[in-house]
């Protein structure tokens, strides 16, 4: 285990795995007396005060990241770098604008992220820039390999990696970020909305019978799709669809013949992709034999906001809602 002292730029290791926040409410349904004052205080007020206390991070705090490294925080980090767009969105959503001193070259949301110093790419960031930023902690996500994380740690960079495979993983990460930074109350606000989004979608599609569920194919980059075990696959499932690539695991290059044979009812694609002056839907429709796919014949090839579709951050449940609307438009009028 490593101990982080934020007075100096230390650290060769990483942090955290999402831990669930437990709220302990006191004195329900009774009236209690404050010792030494002789005055009584309603139980509801005490419960509210207790809840506020529970949402205040108690340091030292020890957490573990997706690589298994554990870290102990003596206090909230004062300077933060994020080299993952999803993590950057989460940190800004928590209200950490002032603490963020660097982001990746691809971070474009929220608008404030575009004004931050750039730290290079998401898979191989600029090591010199990160070291110069003197951040207390660096956050990275699904795009950086464990090998790259280790290399940065070997340089003395304190880096925490996430690897969310589900919406719950995203929620847990946001909860943990809130604990680390002592922004737990805001984290709970975000999580409450995300859970509501999921509940709204699952309620809307629950009446869809198994035999009526639509077959869905998603392409987020030319020739690439997603199989089971990743959050993007779960978005399709939560939205009441069947992913035609669910026989695969993880991120995969497609087999065009297999997609034709699976005959999806709906094709979803990232709407910001352009290759050789062609948009992704044009690329998809131009493939040999794909004009016989039901989704193409029925004009059910639907572009979605690439960031909502592919970033496992606080807007991922907005992405879920868009996926559900695309698959079952009649249920989301």
Q: What pLDDT, in 10s, does the model give residues 200-247?
A: 999 999 999 999 999 999 999 999 999 999 999 999 999 999 999 999
Letter string b/e over residues 178-187, b meaning 16 or more CB atoms within 10 A of that residue's CB: bbbbbbbebb
pLDDT value of residue 48:
52
| Tokens describing residue 237 | 């499932």
Specify the pLDDT at position 49: 57
Does the CA dihedral 42-44-50-56 come out positive or negative?
A: negative
What pTM was computed for the model?
A: 0.83
CATH 3.30.70.2740 fits 208-331, yes or no: no
Strands (E), the chain: 2-4, 31-33, 40-42, 61-64, 70-73, 80-82, 100-103, 137-140, 159-161, 215-219, 224-226, 242-243, 251-253, 266-270, 274-275, 278-279, 301-304
How far apart (Å, rounded) are the C-alpha atoms in residues 62 and 54? 16
Sign of CA dihedral 102, 104, 106, 109: negative
Q: What is the mean pLDDT of the chain?
A: 87
CA distances from 36 to 33, 226, 293 (A): 9, 63, 77
Q: CATH 3.40.50.1980 residue ranges in the chain? A: 2-29+38-187, 208-331
| Regions of the chain short of the pLDDT cut 50 | 1-40
Q: Domain 2-29+38-187 carries which CATH code?
A: 3.40.50.1980
């Amino acid at each position: 285990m490593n101990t982080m002292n934020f007075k100096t730029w230390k650290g060769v290791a990483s942090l955290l795995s999402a831990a669930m926040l437990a709220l302990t409410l006191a004195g329900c349904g009774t009236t209690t007396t404050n010792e030494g004052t002789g005055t009584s205080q309603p139980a509801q007020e005490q419960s509210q005060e207790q809840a506020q206390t529970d949402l205040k991070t108690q340091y030292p705090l020890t957490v573990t990241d997706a690589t298994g490294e554990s870290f102990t925080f003596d206090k909230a980090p004062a300077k933060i770098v994020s080299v993952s767009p999803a993590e950057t969105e989460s940190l800004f959503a928590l209200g950490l604008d002032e603490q963020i001193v660097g982001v990746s070259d691809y971070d474009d949301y929220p608008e404030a992220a575009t004004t931050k110093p750039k730290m290079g790419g998401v898979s191989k960031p600029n090591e010199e820039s990160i070291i110069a930023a003197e951040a207390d902690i660096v956050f990275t996500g699904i795009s950086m390999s464990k090998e790259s994380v280790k290399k940065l740690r070997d340089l003395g960079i304190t880096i925490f990696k996430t690897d969310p495979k589900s919406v719950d993983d995203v929620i847990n990460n946001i909860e943990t970020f809130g604990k680390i930074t002592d922004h737990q109350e805001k984290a709970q606000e975000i999580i409450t909305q995300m859970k509501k989004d999921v509940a709204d979608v699952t309620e809307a599609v629950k009446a869809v019978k198994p035999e009526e569920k639509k077959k869905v194919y998603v392409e987020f980059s030319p020739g690439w799709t997603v199989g089971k075990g990743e959050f993007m696959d779960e978005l399709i499932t939560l939205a009441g669809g069947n992913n035609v690539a669910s026989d695969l695991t993880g991120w995969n290059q497609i087999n065009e013949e297999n997609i034709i044979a699976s005959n999806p009812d709906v094709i979803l694609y990232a709407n910001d992709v352009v290759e050789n002056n062609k948009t992704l839907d044009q690329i998809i429709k131009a493939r040999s034999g794909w004009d016989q796919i039901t989704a193409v014949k029925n004009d059910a090839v639907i572009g979605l906001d690439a960031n909502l579709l592919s970033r496992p951050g606080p807007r991922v449940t907005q992405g879920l809602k868009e996926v559900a609307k695309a698959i079952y438009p009649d249920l989301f009028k």
